[in-house]
């Protein structure tokens, strides 16, 4: 498959089951390295990034197998070493293995992590925090080497910004460290909470879960036990289909959608005229034929509006009524989707690198467009659902990094969409 073909103009109707969270599954899988027993991680999505993580865990000495309902991981002979370059450079989330391998082995050599090109995404916060815990870094030949000569120790760390990745790396390094680690300004995203809960199930002592102040009591010399853990549903996938419904004027039940994690998203959808009702089954969305545009949308760390859904909201607004100022405060290159949307007929003005203004138009036209990163690719799929005629979205590999089968899911909702 190298492209997705969409015949637009159909309102989404029906129900779709929301997959497990990519952003929760990856750090939890990395955390299995800190145990000496088998863990069963339920609900892991079958997506490219999870397959890469499984490959990395195997290369590090874990026995890993897919089973019905999840992934079974048993760290057998984990030791320090050089990790596979291809999987590392292709996946930003592989960076969370830095804290996990350091916590387990005290040393790691890895290539610089890659992933989507959505900004500079420096790892300075990760390195600075781990240095405070006794880790020494060196670089050469494009590779990063980290070692803790005297062992990892607890520290009081104040993050200048609420970085999800840095918070996760600190947690992974801290649970087997010597002494107490205090993290001030910790990220509060549900994915961080999921990691804390898995580590707690394995015997780690973590206080302040779900807040910006985390305290970890290190278990120096004591291994964690394994655990049976369920990954929560993916709030970003749920938000993608929610905005697909808002964009096309549909009625959709998002089964298993985590309503309690999506307050800011639901608020924006309701501003756009959709009715969103949380039920036992998930979230039921009813949308008008054409969305209304809120005056302003601003991304922010959780519990604010997630940057990962900004592109989808933008796409849904292109055929709305009115205009909206969209401010991106997390990543400086999140507007790469603007150019292909304009080619499809959208009226979007780039005010500066962090702001655009979108004015609703009466129609989009199908075009051949290319995904250049994961979430922008999903946004182009939504635009194709709205457009007249056929849209071809290339760069499917990006989309497959976060969605198990976006075409199948949308077909279940009545969309005319196929992978070719």
Residues assigned a catalytic role: 116
CA angle 346, 351, 356 (to 5 degrees): 45
Question: Could you tell me which residues are beta bridge partners of residue 66?
Answer: 71
Residues in the chain: 420
109 token code pair = 């050599």
Rounded Cα distance, 143 and 151, in Å:
22
Rounded Cα distance, 206 and 31, in Å:
14
CA distances from 11 to 7, 277, 407 (A): 12, 19, 15
Beta strands in 48-129 (DSSP E): 62-67, 70-75, 107-111
Rounded Cα distance, 386 and 380, in Å:
10
Rounded Cα distance, 181 and 376, in Å:
37
DSSP per position, 74-91: EESS----BPPHHHHHT-
Answer for the pair 238, 261: CB distance below 8 angstroms, yes or no.
Answer: no
Rounded Cα distance, 166 and 87, in Å:
20
CA distances from 357 to 92, 259, 307, 326, 348 (A): 29, 28, 16, 6, 6
153 token code pair = 């120790």
Answer for the pair 220, 106: CB distance below 8 angstroms, yes or no.
Answer: no
Question: Residue 51's closest CA among 28, 69, 71?
Answer: 71
316 token code pair = 């849904």
Read off φ and ψ for residue 404, nearest 5 degrees: -60, -50
**DSSP single-letter state for residue 54:** H
Helical residues (DSSP H) of 278-359, grouped into ranges: 310-317, 338-343
């Amino acid at each position: 498959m190298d492209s997705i073909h969409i015949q637009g103009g159909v309102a989404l109707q029906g129900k779709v089951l929301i997959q497990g969270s990519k952003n929760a599954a990856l750090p939890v899988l990395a955390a299995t390295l800190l145990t000496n027993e088998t863990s069963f991680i339920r609900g892991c999505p079958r997506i490219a990034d999870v397959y890469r993580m499984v490959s990395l865990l195997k290369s590090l000495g874990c026995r890993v197998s897919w089973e019905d309902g999840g992934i079974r991981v048993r760290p057998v002979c984990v030791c320090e070493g050089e990790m596979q370059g291809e999987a590392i450079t292709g996946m930003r989330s592989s960076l969370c293995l830095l804290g996990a391998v350091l916590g387990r082995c005290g040393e790691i050599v890895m290539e610089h992590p890659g992933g989507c090109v959505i900004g500079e995404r420096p790892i300075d916060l990760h390195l600075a925090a781990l240095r405070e815990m006794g880790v020494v870094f060196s670089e050469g030949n494009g590779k990063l080497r980290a070692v803790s000569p005297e062992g990892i120790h607890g520290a009081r760390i104040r993050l200048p910004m609420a970085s999800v990745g840095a918070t996760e790396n600190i947690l992974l390094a801290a649970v087997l460290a010597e002494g107490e680690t205090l993290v001030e300004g910790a990220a509060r995203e549900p994915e961080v909470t999921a990691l804390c809960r898995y580590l707690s199930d394995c015997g780690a002592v973590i206080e302040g879960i779900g807040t910006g102040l985390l305290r970890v009591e290190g278990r120096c010399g004591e291994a964690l036990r394994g655990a049976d853990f369920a990954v929560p549903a993916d709030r970003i996938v749920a938000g993608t289909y929610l905005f697909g419904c808002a964009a096309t004027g549909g009625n959709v039940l998002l089964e298993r959608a985590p309503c309690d994690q999506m307050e800011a998203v639901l608020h924006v959808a309701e501003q756009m005229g959709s009715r969103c009702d949380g039920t036992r089954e998930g979230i039921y969305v009813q949308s008008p034929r054409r969305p209304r545009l809120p005056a302003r949308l601003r991304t922010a760390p959780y519990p604010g509006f997630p940057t990962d859904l900004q592109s989808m909201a933008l796409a849904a607004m292109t055929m709305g009524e009115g205009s909206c100022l969209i401010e991106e405060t997390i990543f400086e290159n999140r507007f790469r989707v603007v150019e292909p949307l304009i080619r499809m007929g959208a009226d979007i003005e780039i005010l500066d690198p962090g702001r655009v203004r979108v004015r609703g138009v009466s129609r989009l036209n199908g075009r051949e467009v290319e995904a250049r990163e994961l979430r922008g690719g999903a946004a182009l799929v939504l635009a194709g659902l709205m457009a007249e005629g056929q849209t071809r979205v290339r760069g499917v590999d990006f989309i497959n990094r976060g969605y198990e089968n976006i075409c199948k899911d949308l077909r279940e909702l009545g969309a005319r969409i196929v992978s070719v």
